[in-house]
Amino acid sequence: MRSRPSPLSVWLRLVMVEDDRRAILNIERLLDSVTGEIDVVVLSMLAAESRAPDRHGVSRAVLNVCREHGISTVLVDLSTAGSLSRMQPAFDAGVAGVVVRGTIKPEEDRGSRPTMEALRRAIPPAALIVAGWGSRSPRDIVDAFSAGADLVAVDRGFIEAGPGLAKRGNETLLTLRAGAALSAPVLTAAPGIRAALRSGWLWLLLLGLGMFVAGGVVFWVGMTRVLLPYDETFLGLGRDALSGINPRLIGFMRHDRITLAGTLMSIGILYVSLSWNGARHGRRWARRALAGSGMVGFASLFLFLGFHYIDPLHIVLSASLFPLFLLGLTRYAVRPILSRWARAASRVIHCPGLNLRRPRRLAAAGAGCLTGHTIRS
């Protein structure tokens, strides 16, 4: 679990009998062994043999144990055939939401949607509802969200629909939300220029426009001089001397310049489209495409070192566009990177098997030796 990607969360399902007090101790021992690795706990209570179990006390005890181990999100299981009144003690104790579970047979899942709609009306508005009966198609996922679910589990659907079910479901939701956003009337003012600059997409759009302008400059050079003065200095030959060697050389170089201009202008159009239609709406794939293409493009500037040839025009254009690329990239990437570093550091600090006293003593001893050596010298 410690090697999992940072965006993924780990859920732990605990099954216990309502009147089993010894289960609390076992839960505490289990959480001690996985401290810092569990994000959400789902509590599933089995019916007790006694007629009047202390559900308030059991739920509150489990919540206290989870909070002591840094787990603030605790959910409870509810079957589609279960009674909503059984959930009230758990909500009184302070659980964060409910996981609604259905039956295994698809034809028997018809009662899941009415149960969730009734649950949404009965529980607090801030409570989390997870559709945990295992959606089998993108339509099932959309129906679950429209019924009031905040999260939808697709684990059982992987068996019937394949591993691409989650991706297809997310794409369906994005398409529906994008269509709803376009058709909805604009009730609020559009984000200002400051918000666009903070998000980074505007810098990337300016980068695309700059690439288009740079392509226009290269196109003008290819249609007029072809050879710039520093090119003639590097070659030690003028335009007429090159034409004397082969009259087609100038035409070949003009073709090369115009090809480069067309490439720059097409990349500029692509950057503008990715920035406006993708990065502006927070699409990660668009930002990743811009980041990957920009890194390769600007890194190609160092190829001049291998050829022992410096192109001042290329350097000027790259130097003017590189700050826009950095601003567009860092505005988006710095905060997630810092948050990942913070989570990784917190895992190391809360690792139960790591003794921090010895490293501190070694660091203090090393600092003392360094100080003594400095004073002595």
Q: What is the mean pLDDT of each run of 10 residues along the chain (377 residues)?
A: 69 80 84 84 74 64 86 80 67 82 57 71 82 82 85 81 85 78 49 69 92 93 88 84 87 92 95 91 86 90 77 86 88 50 45 42 43 38
Provide the sign of the torsion angle of the four alpha carbons 87, 88, 94, 97, taken in this order: positive
Query: Strands 97-101 and 128-131: what pairing?
Result: parallel
Q: What is the pLDDT of residue 371?
A: 36
CATH of domain 11-183: 3.20.20.70
The reported pTM is 0.49
What pLDDT does 342 receive? Answer: 47
Q: How far apart are the first and last CA of the chain?
A: 49
Q: How big is the CA angle at 120 (ends 115 and 126), to the nearest 5 degrees?
A: 145
Q: Which residues make Cβ contacts (< 8 Å) with residue 261, sequence separation at least 6?
A: 215, 216, 218, 219, 222
Spatial CB neighbours of 131, under 8 Å, sequence gap ≥ 6: 100, 112, 116, 144, 147, 149, 151, 152, 153
Q: Looking at the chain, how many residues does it have?
A: 377
Tell me what pLDDT residue 361 has.
45
d(CA 204, CA 211) in angstroms, rounded, equals 10
Q: 222: which 2 tokens?
A: 């290819």
Cross-strand bridge partners of residue 326: none
The per-residue pLDDT for 182 is 53
Q: Could you tell me if 98 and 129 are in contact, meaning their C-beta atoms sit under 8 angstroms apart?
A: yes
- What is the structure's pLDDT at 108? 52
User: Residue 84 gets which letter from DSSP?
Assistant: G
| Among 51, 60, 141, 129, CA closest to 96 | 129
Domain range list for the chain:
11-183, 193-342
